[in-house]
Each structure stands twice: as C-alpha cells, then as structure tokens.
Copies of this chain bind each other. A is one copy, B any other.
Amino acid sequence: MAAKDSGAESKRSRRTGASPRSGQEPRSESPLSLERIVATAVELLDAEGLDGLKMRRLADRLGAGAMSLYWHVGNKEEVFDLALDSVLEYRGPAQADESDDWRGEVVHMLKDWRASMLRHPWSAALLPRRALGPNILNRLELLSRTLSGAGVADADLNVAIWSLWNYVIGATITRANFDLSEDDRAAAQQRLTALSQHYPTIERSRLLLDNDWDGAFRKGLDFLLDGLSPRR
C-alpha cells in the first residue's frame, strides 16, 4: 500500500533562509512563498470547494501572475497535496502523555480528525487519494501506538487501524457531501416520501432525515471500539 506521488517537483531547490527584505519599501504585495500559496489555497478551497481552485484564481488572490505559482509548485496536484496535509496536523490531547485511558485517547484523536476535515470539507474527499502526508502518518503512528499499548494483539493491529480509518473516512466524506441547503433538503424529503412504498423501513426510521451526525459518529465509533477491544 502506498500513496501516489505528484510526480512533479518544484524547480526551486531550497527556500531562501531568512526573508531578505533588505529594501525599504515592503513591496507592492508581500512576496510569493510556498507558505502563502498553501494558506491561500486553503482559503480558496474553503470558499469555493474542490472545483473552485483554479490556478488563475489562486494567483489573483495572491496578487501574482498565474505562471508565477509554478516556480514554487510543480503543478496543480501538488497544491492539493500541500493544502490537504496542512489541514490535518494533530497536537495530542490536552493532558499528559501517559494516560491509561487508551479509549479516550483514540476517541479524542478521531473526533479531532473528523472535525479538522469538516472544517475544510474538500479535504475528506481528497485524503484517500493521496494518503501519506506526514501529518496523516503521525496520526496513524499515534493510533498504532495507543492500540498496541492497550493490548490489541499484533495480528489484529493493522485490521484495527484500517477499520478505524475506514470508519472515519467514510463518515466524514459522507457528512461533508450531505451538507445541503434547505431547498435540497426539502426536495429530498419529498422525493423520498414519494418512494416510501418501495423503501418502507428506511422511511420509517427516517434514516435519511436524521440530523444528529455528531452523535451518530460517536455512537458508531463506540460500537466499533467495542468490537475491537481486546478480549480479556
């Protein structure tokens, strides 16, 4: 298993150490930099979604020409990669490192993960396509260590990790994409009612109208962790 590589490398071999800024004028606009490009890309993605990120528009927001971006970045895919990883950083739980509440730690990290992605709804759909940014590896490493310390057998460890991964990814992608306007919601309800004779059970349980995403995520995660808990 592995993630794809963007293939292209930016030409700039190394960042110039400290900002030179020797002159007196602070430049008409602040100078381009990878950091600024990535931060602005995240803004643009948040505002306009995955399809809204266009190189020309990104350059506009940066007060630069479109082709200037290509000095710092190999191609558009690399912008996606960098934006994605920049959004997935995790600083551990608030309290000390040496907690014995492994379950609480797992839940905390996964809830934070989901929350981070929902703050940037384009990120969930992107993640499975390019999985190996350092921040994601960090989370997987932490998960791995915690479960291992909790007594999950080595033979079950990978399965456990992937199960949690699958659950979080699936839940978050689904949630991010079902975030609809009121109009969409009304139309959907109407459509479903029209079909209710074909789907009586999900109609009765109001599966598609249930709105408690956070609660459902939390409860389902509990079920999964129940199943994963090492049998004594």
Contact = CB atoms under 8 A, between A and B. Distances in A.
Main secondary structure of the interface of A (DSSP, over half): helix
A184 B219 contact: no
Interface size on A, as a range, is: 35 or more
A211 interface: yes
A173 B1 CA distance: 13
Given A177-B129, A225-B227, A198 B141 contact: yes
B220 A223 contact: no
Contact of A185 (B2, B206, B225, B226): B2
Interface stretch (A22-30, A37-45, A89-97, A151-159): A151-159
Nearest to A179: B1
A42 to B, nearest CB: 21
Contact of A157 (B188, B191, B205): B205
Nearest to A148: B201
B158 A207 contact: yes
